[in-house]
Amino acid sequence: MSKPSTRQGLIDYCLRRLGYPVLEINVDDDQIDDLVDDALQYFQERHFDGIEKVYLKHKITKEEKETIKTGITTTTVSGTQLGNIGFDEGQNYLQLPDTVIGVDKVFKFDSSTISNGMFNLKYQIFLNDLYYMGAVDLLNYAMTKQYLEDLSRIISPDIQLRFNKKRHRLYLDIDWAQQPDDKIYIFDCWRILDPANATDIYNDFWLKKYLTATIKKQWGQNLIKFNGVLLPGGVALNGREIYEDAVQELEEIEKSLREEYELPPMDLIG
């Protein structure tokens, strides 16, 4: 099928693009499985269609809060000039699902007059300049909106958080003793798409090109050691040429990812 919807369908499509079954593709099945995993990981980490924005809700129970308040991890460093030195670290973190790769913020629900209601800083500024909104282009509007959001965080900061996707721990730097029991937190997160649920990933145009090129590169790499060997009929193997062609194709495909499919970094103001 030209529109693969499964992992094996994607593999079969890429092999046909390389000439199978007319040509024998000298790549082992385990090597292909590794290449598929690497291609999906690259797609999920760099392609804007590989992730989705989600809001995760979690209720902190009384037992969880007590564990976070009292949990302390001590790391001892020995052999220093001052002898053994211990460092304490609070276990003020929540374990997030492995599919979450980023956390933007934790939504705050309070009655702060600085950040909510008609006394909202952004509301007052745009209320006075509402007549001017028709002349504001999209870029200036987006930059102004981002600036006001950053200013609001300085005046009335949200919950401070730290997150690293390799450990899947969301640290919340708050006074847990002041938090009520069974309080609900909503996290603004980025989650990778699972191909098992989002099968359209297997039919992504960029992914099909990328995986085909990586299989071709592995094919050429497997044949390099036989470069120049004559087969019956006078046919000579040229694995290096296949390898170099694949490397050039991958450079162009990865360039297209950076220029067309990656989310651009946010502009800095100031």
H helices then E strands: how many in the chain? Answer: 7, 8
DSSP β-bridge partners for residue 162: 171
Identify the pLDDT of residue 60: 87
CA 170 from centre of chain: 15
All residues at 6 or more sequence positions from 191 whose CB lies less than 8 Å from its CB, including other chains? 51, 52, 53, 54, 97, 99, 100, 101
Highest mean pLDDT: which range of 65-69, 240-244, 247-251 = 247-251
Q: CA 214, CA 41: separation in Å to the nearest integer?
A: 13
The percent of residues in the chain predicted with pLDDT above 70, rounded, is: 74
* Domain segments of the chain as ranges: 7-47+204-261, 53-108+158-193, 118-157
Report pLDDT digits (tens) over 25-59. 999 999 999 999 999 999 999 999 999 999 999 99
Q: In this structure, are residues 26 and 242 in contact, taking their beta carbons and an 8 Å threshold?
A: no
Please state which of the ranges 15-19, 200-204, 211-215, 223-227 shows the lowest mean pLDDT: 223-227
Report pLDDT digits (tens) over 109-126. 554 434 455 555 556 665
Q: CA 83, CA 131: separation in Å to the nearest integer?
A: 68
Reported as type and span, the H/E element at residue 232 is none
- Can you spell out the DSSP letters for 223-262? HGGGTTPBPTTS-B--HHHHHHHHHHHHHHHHHHIIIIIS
Q: CA 62, CA 103: separation in Å to the nearest integer?
A: 24
Report pLDDT digits (tens) over 167-218. 999 998 888 888 888 888 899 999 999 999 999 999 999 999 999 999 999 9
What pTM was computed for the model? 0.75
Q: CA 263, CA 48: separation in Å to the nearest integer?
A: 6
